[in-house]
Structure 1
Amino acid sequence: MTSSSDIQTWEVKEPYLKLHCKLGEGPYYERATNTLRFVDIISKRLHTVSLEKGPDSLVTQQLDTPISVTADIAGVDPRDKILIGAKFGVAVLDRKRASESKDAYEYVAKFHKMKDNFRLRGNDGAVDPHGRFWLGTMTDFELGPFQSEGSVHMFTGRQGSVVLKEGVTIPNSVSWSPDGKTMYFTHSSARTIHAYDYSSAAGSAAISNERVFYTHEGSGEPDGHRIDVEGNLWTAVYGESHVLKVCGKTGKVVGEVRLPTQNITCVEFVGTELFITTAGMEEGAGTEQEVDYSGGLFRVDVGVEGVPPHEFKLDL
């Protein structure tokens, strides 16, 4: 790491896992097993690697639906079952059965007003401090170009979802400040991260007072992000070979993680280490090394821990 009076800088030279995901996303630290799981949305795969055993422990499970994000379920051993964001909503994945069957999941609830709308699919999301799951929808890959037909849904247990934001094109990460009073939401195609006042009270509107927290000025787009315990937001930037650390108080960039490939998609904290997913690049879209490292998983120690993820309350 290097630093100046204005910005901290880290540089990653090579991937921790070189596996050429088409669209690596959704890194999630599974504390119960000290593993990191992440997805390849386009390839419909769930990857899991033991952080104790290292890269050679990678296990890949093939599904028949684009899985975009995962979460632990309160009271459930994640080695048995986890929550996934899938094509039509949120589902419970039976991880043991998934080794033998591509449809080893059961929907908990589907998107409100969407049902079996094949134009759309679930994208990024997260569990809020109250145990509810937030998940955005967007135009599916095969039905592009992407249109502003997506929305952001909040799932309460098995009760289904309510729509809390409409007219979005590429909805991405949702997160909460360490004190749980502020929610952040990335609208990638608008190059904007919004902040909201957040309430976990049952029956509340959940969010209010939408405002711009960060606007990206570069050629790329802010993608997945996480919050650290000091309240700063770490956002991957798709197309620009870096992760940016944005001050939670000012919305200004105060740090940068530089990476040797271009399409940076999401981040996850494991202690003070940041694990970073990326997407594949076409031949000729960059240098030979950038293409070779694309779709890999990277790691770097950034000296601060992240806010732990919340668990989904299935029977809330």
Structure 2
Amino acid sequence: MRENEWNPVVLSVRPAALGEGPCWDERTGTLLWVDITGATVRRLDPSSGRSASYPAPEWISAIVPCANGGWIAAANQSLYRWEPENAKFEEILRLELPGSIRFNDGKAGPDGRLWVGTMDRSGERPIGSLYRIDRDLTVYEAVRDVTCSNGLDWSPDGREMYYVDSAIREVRAYAFDAASGELGERRTAIRLEEGTNGVPDGMTLDTEGMLWVAQWGTARVARWNPADGSLLAEVRLPALQPSSCAFGGERLQTLYMTSASDGLREPELEAYPHSGALFALDLSAAGLSGRRPFAFDIAY
């Protein structure tokens, strides 16, 4: 399908100040995402149109399903065990970091471990990291000197991890050992040129191994080939700051896209009136699956 034939739908849910981290829950057939600065988890049932909001104890940047039920939420410098049925957030891990650092994007990998990054709140200093959190909640610093840790995903065969530090304007690919969780040789998979393609943010993979990358500041989500770095297609949105995307729906052929209004001035909000909205686009492409669960060993 050509770009000019794509018509993303603006879903009728309350816009977010800083929408992020969309995640399809195959267990319930619902979409979850977060409003970071609004400290809220959002949930939508596309079949009924019903939505719900769950207040979080701190700025919340990522939610990841657990293999034994429930969710892990990354908020500020803590991980919480979250049960939406009773709206309970229980802190299970806290990193003692400088006060200006907070968690950002995170996912579970094909190794069953949790991968979550940090950033300086200014978004300017390279003092963040990408962490691997093992099943026993042991924390390992996998990538250092990160400015804004953002999107990540894994190749269909699990042998490469794709990772974004937004300040570098690249999607980097690391050789990945699922048995040990170790990262190996690094290469540049995709390079976004300054001023044209925006800043890479959240991303997701489709069944053909292509990456869909939200490109902050340019009102688009684009499909890229991480093998050769070629741009394949673009989805234009009436929101200047797309932040992330995920496949969902019965056949995982609906691309859900979050966005943000945070930091925009009045002229930009007038030009992009749906900034902060949640979008949906039905595609012929499909996602590999819903997000992988975090298989941690500690019972709660």
TM-score, length of structure 1 as denominator length: 0.87
Among candidates 180, 187, 199, match of residue 211 of structure 1? 187
**Cα deviation, residue 39, structure 1:** 0.3
Range with bigger deviation, 30-39 or 298-307: 298-307
Alpha-carbon distance in structure 1 between the residues aligned to 2:20 and 2:64: 13
Residue 312 (1) aligns with residue 294 (2): yes
Alpha-carbon distance in structure 2 between the residues aligned to 1:150 and 1:299: 31
Q: Aligned Cα RMSD in Å?
A: 1.8
> CA 1:287/1:172 → structure 2, altered by over 3 Å: closer, same or farther?
closer
> CA 1:18/1:159 → structure 2, altered by over 3 Å: closer, same or farther?
closer
Unaligned runs of 5+ in 2: none
**Cα deviation, residue 172, structure 1:** 0.5
Please give the per-residue CA displacement for 1:1-24, whole angstroms capped at 9, x wherever unaligned.
Answer: 42xxxxx55533551135221100
Alpha-carbon distance in structure 2 between the residues aligned to 1:217 and 1:154: 29
Among candidates 49, 70, 74, match of residue 67 of structure 2? 74
Aligned length: 291
Residue 228 (1) aligns with residue 206 (2): yes
> CA 1:252/1:9 → structure 2, altered by over 3 Å: closer, same or farther?
farther
**Cα deviation, residue 147, structure 1:** 1.0
**Cα deviation, residue 89, structure 1:** 3.4
**Cα deviation, residue 121, structure 1:** 0.7
Greater strand share, structure number: 2
Mapping of residues 280-295 of structure 1, within 5 Å: 280=261, 282-286=264-268, 288=270, 290=272, 292-295=273-276
**Cα deviation, residue 83, structure 1:** 0.9
1:110 partner amino acid: R
- Aligned residue for 1:265? 243
> CA 1:11/1:258 → structure 2, altered by over 3 Å: closer, same or farther?
farther
**Cα deviation, residue 260, structure 1:** 1.1
- Aligned residue for 1:39? 34
Among candidates 119, 125, 128, match of residue 100 of structure 2? 119
SS of 1:174 mapped into structure 2: strand
- Aligned residue for 1:245? 223
1:96 partner amino acid: E
2:91 partner amino acid: Y
Contact 1:18-1:293 within 8 A present in 2 as well: no
SS of 2:226 mapped into structure 1: coil
Range with bigger deviation, 121-130 or 145-154: 145-154
Among candidates 46, 52, 65, match of residue 51 of structure 1? 46
Contact 1:10-1:302 within 8 A present in 2 as well: no
Alpha-carbon distance in structure 2 between the residues aligned to 1:23 and 1:260: 15
Residue 93 (1) aligns with residue 75 (2): no
Alpha-carbon distance in structure 2 between the residues aligned to 1:10 and 1:47: 29
Alpha-carbon distance in structure 1 between the residues aligned to 2:194 and 2:221: 13
Contact 1:229-1:306 within 8 A present in 2 as well: yes
Alpha-carbon distance in structure 1 between the residues aligned to 2:157 and 2:179: 15
Please give the per-residue CA displacement for 1:157-191, whole angstroms capped at 9, x wherever unaligned.
Answer: 23321001111111111110011111100111111
Identity %: 27
> CA 1:212/1:248 → structure 2, altered by over 3 Å: closer, same or farther?
closer
2:202 partner amino acid: G
Alpha-carbon distance in structure 2 between the residues aligned to 1:245 and 1:160: 35
Alpha-carbon distance in structure 2 between the residues aligned to 1:207 and 1:139: 23
Residue 128 (1) aligns with residue 120 (2): no
TM-score, length of structure 2 as denominator length: 0.92
Contact 2:9-2:281 within 8 A present in 1 as well: no
Among candidates 90, 97, 108, match of residue 106 of structure 1? 90
Alpha-carbon distance in structure 2 between the residues aligned to 1:96 and 1:244: 35
SS of 1:286 mapped into structure 2: helix
